[in-house]
Amino acid sequence: MNDTQIIEPGATLGMLGGGQLGRMFVDAAHALGYRVHVLSPDPDGPAGQVADEHTAADYGDLVAVERFAASVAAVTYEFENVPAACAAACAAHGPVRPGQQVLAVAQDRVREKTTLRDLGVPVGPFAAVTSLPELEAAVAQLGCPSVLKTAGGGYDGKGQRVLRSAADVTYAWEDLGRVPCILEAFVDFEQEVSVVAARGVDGTTVCYGPIANTHRNHILDVSVVPSGATAEVETQAVAITEKIMDGLDVVGVLCVEFFQIRDGAQKTGEDPARGRMLVNELAPRPHNSGHLTLDAYAVSQFEQQVRTVCGQAPPPAGARGPAAMANLLGDLWPAAEPGEPAWSTLGAHAADTDLRLHLYGKAQARPGRKMGHLTACARTPHEAIRDAVEARARLAPAARVAPD
C-alpha cells in the first residue's frame, strides 16, 4: 500500500494500547464502519473490551506484534512510549501514524525540546544533563527555581523534581536515579493550554482550542474551551501548532501542551517581541484535554484520528460552543467495593441536559486512576466549568471527596 492510498470502511485498523484513549478510538472507528484490532498486555482493558479483536501481549513480544501488524491496514497508538522495535515491526507491514520519527521525538524530552527549538518553535530555556557535574553547571546557568525531568518515561508529573536552590541538586539527581535528564528553567505561567491537531497525508491541518487546563496532584482535573486567552494569543498557539505539524510531517492526531506566560513576564535581555506561548511538550495522540471534543464539536479528536490514520483529510472541527470537561478519578468511588458514585444525581438539575457522562469500563477504581469524565456544554466557559464541577461534586458524598 502506498502512503497516499485511502483505507476504506470495512478495513481493520490496529491500535497499540488498551486504555480509554484506545477505547474511544474504537468507538469512533466503529461509527465510521471500520474494525479494530487492539494489542495491549491487559486482557480486560477499556479498549480490548470493545475491540473486534484483541491480542493480549506485551509490546516487546515481536512475534505477537508481527502477527497483529500483518492483520491490519494501518497502525496507530494511544501512548507515546511505544517501544521503537514494536513500531518498526509494525512499519514493516504498513503505515504507522503518526510515524516513527514523531514517536522518537516525543519519547525523549531532550530530543523533543531540541527539535522544537531547531524548528523555530518557542520553548523555555533548557539544558541536557547526563551527570551530576553537568547538572551543577546547568543549574548555575539556568538558576533556581528550575525543574529537573527524566528525559524518558515520565507522565502526570512523575519523574520530575523542582529545584528550589542549589542545595536540592544532589538529592534530586540521586532521587531520579542518575539517568539522562533535562533541566528546564521554571516558567512563571498564567495558565496551561493545549491545542489538539489533526493532519492528513495531504498536509491539511485542523486544530481544536486552545483548551485551558488545570491540574490537581499533577493529573489533569478540568479542561475548558474557549481558553480565555486573547485572540492574538490563541492565534499564536494555533500557528505554533501548525508549524509543528508541518515541521514533523505528522499524519494523525497530536496534542501540543503550552505554557501561556504572563503578560510582561519577559525578562530583561529576552526578545520583547516574543509571543506569550512556550511549548512544554507533545503527545502524538488524542489527549485527555481533547475529550470535550466528543460533545462540543461536530467531529471529535477520535474521529479525526480514525480519518487521518486512514489517509483522509481531516474535516472541519465544527465547534458548537463553550464546554468544560471534569475528570472522574477513582477517588470518587466508595472505598468499600463494590460501590459506585451516586449516578442518580446526574439529571437532577436543569443544566444536566447539557451534561454528558463517559465511563471507560475499568473494573477497579483506585485513587488517581482515570475512570471517566463529564462534559458540560453551556452559554459561557465559566458556566460550563460550574456545571461540570458541581455535577461531579454531587457524585460523591462530601466525606469521600479527596482533600486538596
Give the interface with ligand AMP as residue ranges (CB under 6 A): 124, 147, 154, 157, 184, 186-187, 192, 215, 218, 257, 280-281
Question: Closest CB to ligand AMP among 86 and 123?
Answer: 123
Question: Closest CB to ligand AMP among 95 and 124?
Answer: 124
How far apart CA 28 and CA 344 sit, in angstroms, is 27
Question: Closest CB to ligand AMP among 115 and 280?
Answer: 280
Q: How far is the CB of 45 from ligand AMP (least distance, A)?
A: 23
Q: How far is the CB of 162 from ligand AMP (least distance, A)?
A: 8
Q: How far is the CB of 284 from ligand AMP (least distance, A)?
A: 14
How far apart CA 225 and CA 192 sit, in angstroms, is 12
Question: Closest CB to ligand AMP among 147 and 395?
Answer: 147
Q: How far is the CB of 124 from ligand AMP (least distance, A)?
A: 6
Question: Closest CB to ligand AMP among 29 and 220?
Answer: 220
Question: Closest CB to ligand AMP among 147 and 169?
Answer: 147
CA distances from 56 to 53, 111, 180, 360 (A): 10, 31, 32, 18
Q: How far is the CB of 152 from ligand AMP (least distance, A)?
A: 12
Question: Closest CB to ligand AMP among 152 and 330?
Answer: 152
Question: Closest CB to ligand AMP among 218 and 349?
Answer: 218
AA letter at 333: W
Q: How far is the CB of 150 from ligand AMP (least distance, A)?
A: 10
Residues whose CB falls within 8 Å of the CB of residue 251, separated by 6 or more in sequence, listed in order: 95, 97, 98, 99, 199, 200, 201, 308, 309
Cα 352 to its chain centre, rounded Å, is 27
Q: How far is the CB of 160 from ligand AMP (least distance, A)?
A: 6
HSE at residue 373, side-chain half, CA atoms within 13 A, is 26
Q: How far is the CB of 184 from ligand AMP (least distance, A)?
A: 4
How far apart CA 211 and CA 375 sit, in angstroms, is 13
Q: How far is the CB of 289 from ligand AMP (least distance, A)?
A: 11
Q: How far is the CB of 27 from ligand AMP (least distance, A)?
A: 27
Question: Closest CB to ligand AMP among 185 and 396?
Answer: 185
Question: Closest CB to ligand AMP among 94 and 275?
Answer: 275
Question: Closest CB to ligand AMP among 62 and 128?
Answer: 128
Q: How far is the CB of 359 from ligand AMP (least distance, A)?
A: 25
AA letter at 280: N
